[in-house]
């Protein structure tokens, strides 16, 4: 029976090993569009900041809570996203998330107060962002191994392309049709995420069976050889014991003892062969072809010291992820830049961010040192750029700062989540669970970042003050990231010591069990048995 084309095209993809391509390229394209409709849209909402303040008569801090609630829900519900993906699959979760994103953005165009936007964009769209982004980046990491960093960096550049296109486009468009219709158009574009969800086909790794069959034959042959050696050894032992006891036993007794030894050897060899077959069957049943069902959520990563420090890095770094894009336009206006030119600051950030994302992927594919050290260097430089925003007052100085910020923001933003798949942090085996916990921890900084900047702006009447909180958070994140390596090394050393101690303990127990078994055989042997007679002869010779 022929399989329908749709099932063959959109069904599970089976590979003998991680493909580093194949259907993964379609998943990468889907992730590119998801980046456009999630982070790209979220960071472009700063275009409407002044319009919302004038429309609803609210302050900077009150309006910035729209972005904060959205980011908080986006990250706080990360464990829910991972649980639903493990339970129902990535595809339906992403499609539902795309529907929620579009619904929240479109309905926000018809709101009458900022409190209503807290619900539409903050809650509804925020939940949609979470259900869409995390499952997509998780399944993308499963399709690639050697090229993972490069492909993820290129695919995540969709965020930068969105900022580059949306910022000037909606700045011009809102002058003609108003900000409300701009949100309707934006929500319609975000509905394309539903189609992206269809491309997220699950991947199944089935190793080739040829090697397994040859290995099974070798194992069975070695078991048979071991059994035959055991029979021969028992036979030689019985014959030698017969010769040594020729003056005490008749030929019949020796022959019967030899038969007993042979029967016991045959039983032992048969048991050995059956054990080997059962062990092989158990190994096949528990192999990669029939993996156990994943846990809905695994919080055991919280016992990993390296993961804790890396999560604290993400917590503090999030303070600098959203506030600069939200306030850069108003900062430029306050420092004498024309309003028509101020919107292009976001475009400068976006173009530089594209180059940052592409370059970091190439660098990580070539470096031999720990990849977390490369990330640490980018975070330190990003912190210095945030400080520079507070002391620059001219147009070209702001352009340079925006370019540098966009570049280093691209390097950090594109790899800080996929970095969890590296052995420097937790590894690909535990990424599906750790990414939910990691983003959940980030949620608290995402909630506090934009409002904290808004409060500083309202108090100081200086938009540059918002960048101080971003710089402080980025500096703290650099300290936490620097401690990931030492924590990982210490944990590996402890694990190796525990393994060595466990092996030595097992060897001692095995030796004690063998000695106890020997004494037990001697004690339980009958008076006329060869074992008892040999022991009596040894004792007599000693006396």
**What backbone torsions phi and psi does residue 295 show, to the nearest 5 degrees?**
-70, 150
In a domain, 82, yes or no: yes
Distances (CA, A) of 500 to 268, 392, 490, 507: 32, 58, 16, 11
Across 304-313, average pLDDT: 90
In a domain, 215, yes or no: no
Q: Which residue has the higher pLDDT, 432 or 164?
A: 164
Are residues 187 and 266 located together in one domain of the fold? no
Confirm if 170 and 44 have CB atoms less than 8 A apart: yes
Across 332-340, average pLDDT: 84
Confirm if 98 and 193 have CB atoms less than 8 A apart: yes
Across 268-290, average pLDDT: 41
| Cα 498 from Cα 512, distance rounded (Å) | 21
Place of tokens 């506030």: 323
Residue 246: which domain range? Answer: 229-283
Length of the chain: 543
Across 280-307, average pLDDT: 56
In a domain, 224, yes or no: no
| Cα 396 from Cα 418, distance rounded (Å) | 34
Domain stops at, among 475, 493, 511:
493
CATH number at residue 434: 1.20.1250.20
Tell me the per-residue pLDDT of 116-143, one tens digit each, with 9 for 90 and over. 999 999 999 999 998 999 899 888 888 8
What whole-number percentage of the chain has pLDDT above 70?
A: 71
Are residues 470 and 384 located together in one domain of the fold? yes
| Cα 185 from Cα 204, distance rounded (Å) | 38
* pLDDT band at residue 379 under the 50/70/90 scheme: very high
Predicted TM-score (pTM) above 0.75: no
β-partners of residue 203 are: 13
How many domains does the chain fold into?
A: 2
* Residue 394 structure tokens: 């001219």
* Count of C-beta atoms within a 10 Å radius of residue 122: 24
| Cα 436 from Cα 19, distance rounded (Å) | 25
Are residues 264 and 318 located together in one domain of the fold? no
Mean pLDDT of the chain: 76
Nearest to 474 by CA among 349, 388, 532, 353: 388
* Residue 108 structure tokens: 């926000």
For residue 506, the model assigns a pLDDT of 64
Are residues 113 and 152 located together in one domain of the fold? yes
In a domain, 119, yes or no: yes
**Residue 93 clears pLDDT 60, i.e. is over it:** yes
* Residue 39 structure tokens: 């982070």
For residue 217, the model assigns a pLDDT of 52
* Residue 508 structure tokens: 């001692």
**Residue 98 clears pLDDT 80, i.e. is over it:** yes
* Residue 414 structure tokens: 């594109």
* pLDDT band at residue 150 under the 50/70/90 scheme: confident
| Cα 316 from Cα 307, distance rounded (Å) | 14
* pLDDT band at residue 511 under the 50/70/90 scheme: low
Are residues 276 and 304 located together in one domain of the fold? no
Q: Which residue has the higher pLDDT, 86 or 124?
A: 124
| Cα 543 from Cα 469, distance rounded (Å) | 91
In a domain, 263, yes or no: yes
Are residues 153 and 262 located together in one domain of the fold? no
In a domain, 529, yes or no: no
* pLDDT band at residue 452 under the 50/70/90 scheme: confident
Lowest mean pLDDT among 366-380, 411-425, 514-528: 514-528
In a domain, 485, yes or no: yes
**Interacting residues of 536 by C-beta distance below 8 A, sequence separation 6+:** none
| Helix H or strand E encompassing 229 | helix 209-244
| Cα 73 from Cα 62, distance rounded (Å) | 17
β-partners of residue 14 are: 204
Tell me the per-residue pLDDT of 155-199, one tens digit each, with 9 for 90 and over. 888 888 888 888 888 888 998 999 999 999 999 999 999 999 998
**Residue 278 clears pLDDT 50, i.e. is over it:** no
Alpha helices in 126-208 (DSSP H): 126-143, 148-155, 158-177, 179-190, 193-198
Are residues 113 and 240 located together in one domain of the fold? no
**Residue 237 clears pLDDT 90, i.e. is over it:** no
| Cα 35 from Cα 394, distance rounded (Å) | 32
**Residue 433 clears pLDDT 80, i.e. is over it:** no
For residue 239, the model assigns a pLDDT of 37
* pLDDT band at residue 424 under the 50/70/90 scheme: confident
Tell me the per-residue pLDDT of 340-362, one tens digit each, with 9 for 90 and over. 788 788 888 888 988 988 888 78
Tell me the per-residue pLDDT of 389-405, one tens digit each, with 9 for 90 and over. 988 888 899 999 999 99
Tell me the per-residue pLDDT of 190-217, one tens digit each, with 9 for 90 and over. 999 999 999 888 888 877 765 444 555 5
Are residues 345 and 242 located together in one domain of the fold? no
**Residue 429 clears pLDDT 70, i.e. is over it:** yes
In a domain, 235, yes or no: yes
| Cα 532 from Cα 538, distance rounded (Å) | 10
Are residues 237 and 329 located together in one domain of the fold? no
Are residues 335 and 191 located together in one domain of the fold? yes
Are residues 316 and 202 located together in one domain of the fold? yes
* pLDDT band at residue 151 under the 50/70/90 scheme: confident
Are residues 325 and 267 located together in one domain of the fold? no
Q: Which residue has the higher pLDDT, 529 or 123?
A: 123
């Amino acid at each position: 029976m022929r399989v329908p084309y749709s099932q063959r095209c959109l069904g599970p993809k089976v590979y003998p090993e991680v493909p580093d391509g194949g259907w993964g390229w379609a998943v990468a394209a889907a992730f590119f569009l998801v980046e456009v409709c999630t982070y790209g849209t979220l960071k472009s909402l700063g275009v409407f900041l002044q319009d919302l303040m004038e429309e609803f008569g609210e302050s900077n801090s009150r309006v910035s809570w729209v972005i904060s609630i959205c980011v908080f829900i986006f990250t706080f519900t990360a464990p829910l996203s991972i649980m639903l993906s493990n339970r129902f699959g990535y595809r339906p979760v992403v499609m539902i998330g795309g529907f929620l994103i579009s619904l929240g953005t479109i309905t926000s165009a018809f709101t009458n107060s900022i409190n209503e936007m807290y619900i539409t964009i903050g809650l509804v769209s925020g939940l949609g962002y979470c259900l869409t982004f995390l499952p997509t980046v998780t399944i993308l990491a499963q399709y690639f191994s050697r090229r993972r960093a490069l492909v993820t960096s290129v695919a995540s550049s969709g965020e930068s392309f969105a900022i580059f296109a949306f910022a000037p486009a909606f700045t011009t468009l809102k002058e003609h049709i108003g900000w409300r219709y701009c949100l309707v158009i934006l929500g319609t574009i975000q509905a394309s995420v539903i189609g992206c969800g269809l491309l997220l086909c699950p991947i199944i790794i089935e190793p080739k069976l040829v090697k397994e069959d040859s290995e099974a034959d070798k194992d069975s042959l070695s078991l048979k050889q071991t059994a035959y050696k055991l029979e021969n050894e028992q036979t030689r032992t019985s014959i030698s014991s017969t010769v040594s006891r020729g003056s005490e036993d008749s030929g019949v007794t020796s022959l019967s003892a030899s038969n007993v030894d042979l029967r016991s050897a045959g039983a032992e060899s048969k048991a050995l062969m059956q054990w080997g077959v059962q062990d092989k069957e158990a190994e096949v049943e528990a192999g990669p072809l029939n993996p156990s069902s994943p846990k809905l959520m695994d919080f055991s990563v919280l016992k990993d010291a390296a993961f804790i420090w890396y999560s604290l890095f993400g917590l503090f770094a999030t303070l600098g992820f959203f506030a600069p894009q939200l306030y850069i336009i108003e900062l430029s206006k306050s420092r004498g830049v024309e309003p028509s030119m101020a919107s292009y600051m976001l475009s400068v950030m976006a173009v530089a961010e594209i180059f940052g994302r592409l370059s970091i992927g190439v660098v990580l594919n070539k470096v031999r040192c720990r990849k977390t050290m490369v990330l640490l260097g980018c975070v330190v430089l990003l912190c210095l750029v945030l400080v520079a925003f507070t002391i620059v007052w001219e147009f070209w100085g702001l352009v340079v700062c925006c370019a540098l910020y966009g570049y280093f923001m691209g390097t950090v933003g594109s790899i800080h989540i996929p970095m969890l798949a590296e052995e420097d942090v937790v590894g690909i085996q535990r990424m599906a669970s750790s990414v939910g916990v990691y983003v959940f921890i980030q949620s608290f900084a995402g909630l506090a970042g934009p409002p904290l900047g808004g409060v500083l702006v309202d108090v100081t009447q200086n938009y540059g003050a918002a960048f101080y909180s971003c710089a402080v958070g980025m500096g703290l994140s650099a300290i936490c990231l620097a401690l990931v390596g030492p924590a990982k090394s210490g944990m590996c050393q402890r694990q190796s010591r525990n393994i060595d101690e466990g092996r030595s303990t097992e060897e001692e127990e095995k030796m004690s069990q063998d000695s106890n078994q020997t004494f037990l055989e001697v004690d339980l042997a009958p008076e006329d048995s060869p074992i008892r007679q040999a022991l009596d002869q040894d004792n007599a010779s000693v006396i």
